């Protein structure tokens, strides 16, 4: 009788112990899952707040490299000349990607591109000169969706050598730097910081020297 009692007590104790251990393990797993989900949501929210953009199409580089709110991009600041073939413009199908200055995207091989001479200055300047630029021709692309202030740095800039020339409101040069594209943000902060007399920069591609984009203080008339 005592043996049966002992056996029953022992079995009950073992079952209870197993139940407690199983419950603990389940609680631990649930807690870990909740904590992981919470951390993932926090990380996603932080990224969206940093960029002001929830589009997942932005590259990892763009999520990290954005202009400060005091600056903005201004693609093709001066009007583009009539897009027809002239002595200063020609249609091409480049055999490698080239940077389009209108949509700020690189072309794909096979895209028809208009190569033309372009002067980006908005006023008279001894520094003004035209340089060759590409824009998508067929199909013509849309203007880049740049933000009124700040905004991610286009990848076509970040991966190329850049020559940056800073000008004041009278279009006189106040500074210049040649940097790798991944240093564009730091160069803009030096050339267009609060203490800088320059109002805007013309960014050129370092090798061929052709105009890429204008970056200006948001105080500039649009």
What residues make contact with Zn ion under the rule CB under 5 A?
A: 100, 102-103, 136, 141
CB closer to Zn ion out of 48 and 91? 91
Our CB check for Zn ion shows the closer of 100 and 213 to be 100
Decide whether 158 or 217 has the Cβ nearer to Zn ion: 158
CA distance 44 to 177: 35
179 contact partners, CB below 8 Å, separation of at least 6 = 161, 162, 164, 186, 187
Which CB atom, from 102 or from 217, has the smaller least distance to Zn ion? 102
- Cβ 118 vs Cβ 208: under 8 Å: no
Task: Return d(Cα 37, Cα 49) in angstroms, integer.
Answer: 18
Q: Least distance from C-beta 87 to Zn ion, angstroms?
A: 23
146: nearest Cα among 81, 218, 78: 218
Residue 149 burial by CB count (10 A; 0-12/13-18/19+): exposed, middle or buried?
middle
Rounded least distance, CB 190 to Zn ion, Å: 30
Query: Residue 136 or residue 165: which is nearer to Zn ion going by CB?
Result: 136
For residue 147, which of 216, 45, 78 has the smallest C-alpha distance? 216
Q: Residue 122 Cβ, how far from Zn ion at the closest point, in Å? A: 22
Task: In angstroms, give the least distance from the CB of 102 to Zn ion.
Answer: 5
Q: Which tokens in the block code for residue 83?
A: 């897009």
Cβ 52 to Zn ion, closest distance in Å? 23
């Amino acid at each position: 009788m005592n043996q049966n009692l002992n056996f029953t007590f022992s079995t009950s104790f073992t079952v209870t112990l197993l139940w407690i251990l199983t419950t603990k393990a389940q609680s631990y797993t649930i807690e870990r899952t909740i904590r992981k989900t919470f951390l993932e949501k926090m990380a996603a929210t932080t990224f969206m707040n940093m960029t002001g953009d929830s589009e997942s199409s932005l590259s990892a580089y763009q999520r990290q490299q954005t202009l400060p709110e005091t600056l903005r991009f201004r693609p093709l600041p001066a009007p583009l000349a009539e897009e027809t073939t002239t002595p200063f413009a020609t249609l091409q199908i480049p055999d490698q990607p080239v940077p389009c200055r209108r949509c700020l995207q690189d072309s794909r091989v096979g895209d028809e591109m208009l190569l033309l001479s372009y002067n980006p200055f908005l006023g008279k300047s001894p520094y003004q000169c035209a340089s060759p630029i590409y824009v998508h021709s067929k199909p013509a692309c849309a203007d880049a969706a740049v933000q009124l202030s700040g905004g991610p740095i286009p990848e076509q800039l970040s991966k190329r050598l850049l020559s940056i020339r800073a000008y004041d409101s009278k279009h006189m040069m106040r500074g210049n730097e040649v940097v790798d594209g991944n240093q564009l943000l730091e160069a803009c902060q030096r050339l267009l910081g609060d203490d800088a007399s320059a109002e805007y920069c013309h960014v050129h591609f370092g090798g061929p020297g052709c105009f890429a984009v204008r970056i200006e203080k948001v105080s500039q008339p649009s």
